[in-house]
Amino acid sequence: MEKILYLAHVDPNGALPKVALEALNGALQTAKGMPGSTLVIGLIGENIQAAADSLAACGASKIFGVSGKDFGMARYATDVKAAEAIAKAAAATIIIAPATSRFARALPGAAFRLKAAIDTHVSGMTVTGGALQVQRWYYRQRMVATLSRTARPWILVVDSGVFPVWQGTKGSAKVEAVALTLTDKEKRTQVTGVQAPSADAQTIRPDAAVLFVAGAGWTKKQADGQTHVKDAEQLILGFLKNAKASLGSSKSLVDQGSEGEQVLSFMSHLNQVGQTGSTPRHPKGFSTCCHGEEPHVVGWRFINERRAVNIDANCGWAQGKADVLYVADAFAVVAKVNELLAKG
C-alpha cells in the first residue's frame, strides 16, 4: 500500500505558494485513486502552523513539520536535510511536491540521499488500474510521455498550472515536529536579501492571464518607409501595463540586438517563445507583428485561446494556428486597444 507524502514549504510570510496548493490537489487526487493508500503532509519553513491550519480540512491523516529560523530561507543544505527527515519519518513511498525554485534545487539532492527515483516537471498524474502514471514533456515540449515507475520512494515535482488551486476551510491542525540537528557547516549559506526588478521592469509574468507576443515586424519599415521603434516600445509597454500581460517575443526580434539592429530596450532572449525558447502557460495569447512560423508557434502549445494581428493575410497564423487573425496594422490596433484598456 502506498504511503503518499505531500511535501511543501511555506513562503517567508508563512503562506503556501500557489503552486503548492495546486500540487496538493494532485496529491489528493492520487490518494483517492489508490484505495488503501495513506496521505500525510510534510511542511518546511520558519513558521508552519498557519499553513498547517489552512490544510486541516484537506483529509490528510497527519502533518509532519520541520520548522524554525534555520528553515525560513531557501538553502540547499538545510532544505535537503528537512525533506529527507520528513520523508523518512513518514516512511513515504510516493512524495508529491510543488515545482518551486526552492524545491527544484533541493529535491534532487533529497532523492539521492533517500535512494529515491525522481521526476521533475510533472505535467499530469493519473491512476490507472491502481498504478500511478505521470505525464512529462520531452524534446523541448514536442513529445509527451506517460510513464510509471516501480522504484520507491518516488518523488514527483509537479509544475504549476497542472491542477487547480486547492481551496478548503481553515481548522486547527496538530503538527508532529520532526527532530533535526544542523551543523554550522550546513548553515553556512545565508540569504542576505532579495534583488528583484520593479513590477514594471518585470515583463515575464507566468501568472498573467494574457501572453503578449511581439515579433520582428515592430522594428521593420512601415508603410511610410520608416521604422518606428520608439512608438513600438510605447505601445507594447502600454499594453503590458494596462492588461498586466506577460511579454513574449519571436526569435527574430530578440536576435536583432546581437545583429546590431535597433531593438526594443526591454526585450531579452528570456522573452523568446518557441522551439528554442520557452513554452509558457497562459489562458490567452495575443501575437503582434509576428509571422507565426512553426518553430515559434510550437511554443504556444499551452496557450488556450490565440489571437494574432498581422498585415499579411497569408501569414502562419492564418494557417490554422490562431483562433482569430486580425488582418490589420498592429500599430493602429494596439494603440486603439490601449486607449480602450486605459478607460477601464
Ligand X SMILES: Cc1cc2nc3c(=O)[nH]c(=O)nc-3n(C[C@H](O)[C@H](O)[C@H](O)COP(=O)(O)OP(=O)(O)OC[C@H]3O[C@@H](n4cnc5c(N)ncnc54)[C@H](O)[C@@H]3O)c2cc1C
Return d(Cα 285, Cα 298) in angstroms, integer. 13
CA angle 239, 244, 249 (to 5 degrees): 60
Amino acid at the residue 42? G
Number of residues that bind ligand X (CB under 6 A): 30
**Residue in 290, 303, 325, 337 binding ligand X, rule: CB under 6 A:** 290
The C-alpha cell at 209 is 492571464
Three-state secondary structure along 93-151? Answer: CEEEEECCHHHHHHHHHHHHHHCCEEEEEECEEEEECCEEEEEEEECCCCEEEEECCCC
**Residue in 250, 267, 282, 306 binding ligand X, rule: CB under 6 A:** 250
**Residue in 312, 319, 336, 339 binding ligand X, rule: CB under 6 A:** 312
Q: What minimum distance in Å lies between the beta carbon of 83 and ligand X?
A: 34
Residue 287 is a binding residue for ligand X (CB under 6 A): no
Binding mask 98-127 for ligand X (x = CB under 6 A): ------------------------------
Determine if residue 113 is left, alpha or beta; phi over 0 gives left, psi from -120 to 50 gives alpha, anything else beta: alpha
Residue 219 is a binding residue for ligand X (CB under 6 A): no
Residue 285 is a binding residue for ligand X (CB under 6 A): no
Of 89 and 289, CB closest to ligand X:
289
> Which residues ranging from 40 to 69 are in contact with ligand X (CB under 6 A)?
none
The C-alpha cell at 5 is 507524502
Q: Which helix (H) or strand (E) holds 25?
A: helix 18-33
Q: What minimum distance in Å lies between the beta carbon of 215 and ligand X?
A: 3
Q: What minimum distance in Å lies between the beta carbon of 157 and ligand X?
A: 25
φ, ψ (nearest 5 deg) of residue 256: -60, -35
Residues that bind ligand X in the complex, under the rule CB under 6 A = 215-217, 220, 222, 250-253, 272-277, 289-291, 293, 295-296, 299, 309-312, 315, 329-331
